[in-house]
Amino acid sequence: MANPPITGTPGIDGAVFGVNARMDRLPATRSIWLLVFMLSIGGWFEFYDLFFTAYVGPGLVKSGIYSTTTESFFGFSGLGGFVAASFAGLFIGTSCLAGMADRYGRKAVFTVSLLWYSAATLIMACQSTALGINAWRLIAGIGVGVELVTIDTYVSELVPKHLRGRAFAFVHMVQYSAVPTVALLAWWLVPQAPFGLDGWRWVVIIGALGALVVWVIRRGVPESPRWLAQQGRAAEAEEVLGKIERKVAAQYRGELAAPVASVEPATTKASFREIWQPPYRRRAITLLVFNFFQAIGFYGFASWVPTLLISKGVTITHSLMYAFVIAISNPFGPLLGIAIADRIERKTLIVLSALGIVVFGSLFAVQTSAALLMLLGVAITISGTLLSVGYHAYQTELFPTRVRARAVGFVYSVSRLSAMFSGFMIASALRHFGVTGVFALISVSMIMVMASIGIFGPRTNGLNLDEISH
C-alpha cells in the first residue's frame, strides 16, 4: 500500500498513521540491519575506550605511574584513581550533557561525542603523570558518556518494535568484540615498549582511531524520524522515513503491511521535572536503584580482571593472557541475546543475568585452578553482557521520545557515579579481604539489581515505544 503521510494533530494521541505506526510495521530487512550495524561500529570504539581501563592497568603500574592499591581510600595515585577518573567523566557526560540529543538530534550528538573522546584519548596517551592521565581520562569519559546514551536512544528509535531486543543484542555483539581486541593488544603490547614507547600508550592510541571513521558512519545514518516528528519537523520526518520505507520495500520484495494506528510521539515540549511525574517517577526511581548497583557488580569484575588474577598469584604476562581468553567470550553473551532477547521478557532477562553473576562470581572467588578461573570468568562475562543487552534496551523503552535521552542519561548517570566509587571500593576490598571480599560486594550488588527490576520493573516486550511510556 502507498505510504501515508505523517499527518495529524499534536498531542498524546499523535497521528493516525504517524511515524511509530509506519516504523513498527517494517520487516527486518538488510537496510534496517545496516543502520544498526553502522551505529554499532561507532559504539565499537566507545567500548574499546571504555574497557581498555582494565587492560592497561597492569602496564600503568609497571611503568611506575600508578600503584595497585593505596593506603588511603581516595588514593589518586593508585589504579582506583584511574578507574574513578573514567567514571567521573562518564557521570558528567550522562547526567549533564546526554540531554543534548533531545535538543539537537541523535545524529549530530552521535558525531560530536565520538570526535570528542577520540581526541581526548589521544592526548591522554601522551601524559606521563597520574594527574595528567586522570584529567584527560575524565575529559574523554565525558564524550563516552554522551555517546553511550545517544547510541541507545538512536537504536531504539530506528528499529521496529518487534526487533528492539535483537537490535540491541546485535549492537552489543559488535561493541563487545572490542573487548577481546583490546585484551589481545594489551597482552601483546603492555609487557613491551615498541619503538621506545610504553605498550599501554600504543593500546590507548589505537583506541583514538574512531575519529577516522566517524564521517563515513555519519553519511550512512539518517536522523531519527521519531525525533524529527516529535520536534514537529514533519516534512523532514516524512523524507527520512520515506527513504527507509522504499529501501525496505525493495529488499522485502513484497507489499509492506498496512500501518496500525498507535500512540505517536507528542510534539509538546519536555522538561526535566516530567521525569518525576507519574508514570515516570516510579520508573526513574527503579532505574536509579538498579543502575547504582549494577555498575558495582558489572565493572567490579570487568574493569579488574587482570588485577584480580594477579591477586590470585598469576603473573602479569599470564594474567593478561587469561584475561584475553575471558575477553573473547564478550560477544557471545549478545550473540545468545540475538536468539532470545525478543522471546524473553526484558526484565526477566535482566534478573536471570544478574543471578548468573552471583553464582559464577562466588565460585570464581574460591578457585585457584587456571582452567576453572578462565571458565568461570567466561561465565561471569557472558552473564554480564546479557545483563547489558537487557538493560540498555529496557531503560530506553520506559520514557517518551521527547525526553528519552535526557531521562536515560539521568538514570544511567548514577551507574557512572557508583562505578567511579566502585574503583575505590574494589581496591579497598581487595586490599583487606582479597578476591573473596570483592565478589561478596559484587554479589550483594546483583541481589539489589534482581530485587529492583524483578519487583518494580514494568513489562515492555513487543510494545510501541510511546505506548510503553504512555
Length of the chain: 470
Prior bond of 331 cis (ω within 30°): no
Cα separation, 51 vs 301, in Å, equals: 11
State percent of the chain over pLDDT 70.
90
Query: In this predicted model, what pLDDT tens digit does every residue of 243-295 receive, in sequence order?
Result: 999 999 999 987 888 888 888 887 877 788 889 998 899 999 999 999 999 98
Estimate the share of the chain in helix, then strand, then coil, as percent rounded to the nearest 5: 75, 0, 25
Q: Sign of dihedral through CA atoms 363, 366, 371, 377?
A: positive
Rg (the chain; Cα; Å): 22
User: Cβ–Cβ contacts within 10 Å for residue 129, how many?
Assistant: 10
Q: How far apart are CA 99 and CA 405, in angstroms?
A: 5
Q: What pLDDT does residue 11 have?
A: 36
- Tell me the pLDDT tens digit for each residue of 84-100: 888 889 889 999 999 99
Cell of 287: 532505574
Superfamily for the 19-255+275-458 domain:
MFS general substrate transporter like domains (1.20.1250.20)
pLDDT tens-place string over residues 322-332: 777 777 888 99
Q: Computed from CA positions of residues 22, 26, 30, 33, in that sequence, does the dihedral angle turn out positive or negative? A: positive
Backbone angles phi, psi at 271, to 5 degrees: -135, 160
- For the chain, what are the domain ranges? 19-255+275-458
Q: Which residues pair with 78 in a beta bridge?
A: 67
Give the position of cell 569519559: 141
**How many whole angstroms separate alpha carbon 435 and alpha carbon 57?**
17
- Averaged pLDDT, 122-126: 94
**Nearest Cα to 151, choosing from 260, 46, 276?**
46
Question: Of the candidates 388, 408, 416, which has an alpha carbon nearest to the alpha carbon of residue 176?
Answer: 388
Q: How confident is residue 133, by pLDDT bands cut at 50, 70 and 90?
A: very high
Calculate ∠ Cα 82-83-89, nearest 5°. 95
DSSP symbol at 78: B
Question: If you search the block for the grid coordinates 527503579, which residue do you land on?
Answer: 286
What residue spans of 278-403 are helical by DSSP H? 280-302, 305-311, 316-328, 332-340, 346-365, 370-397
Report which of residues 47 and 105 the model is more confident about: 105
Preceding peptide of 400 cis, ω within 30°? no
pLDDT in tens, 3-47: 544 544 333 333 346 899 999 999 999 999 999 999 999 889 888
d(CA 76, CA 241): 50
Residues pairing with 67 in the sheet: 78
Collapsing DSSP to helix, strand or coil, 67 comes out as: strand
* Buried residues in 411-422 as b, exposed as e (16+ CB within 10 A): bbbbbbbbbbbb
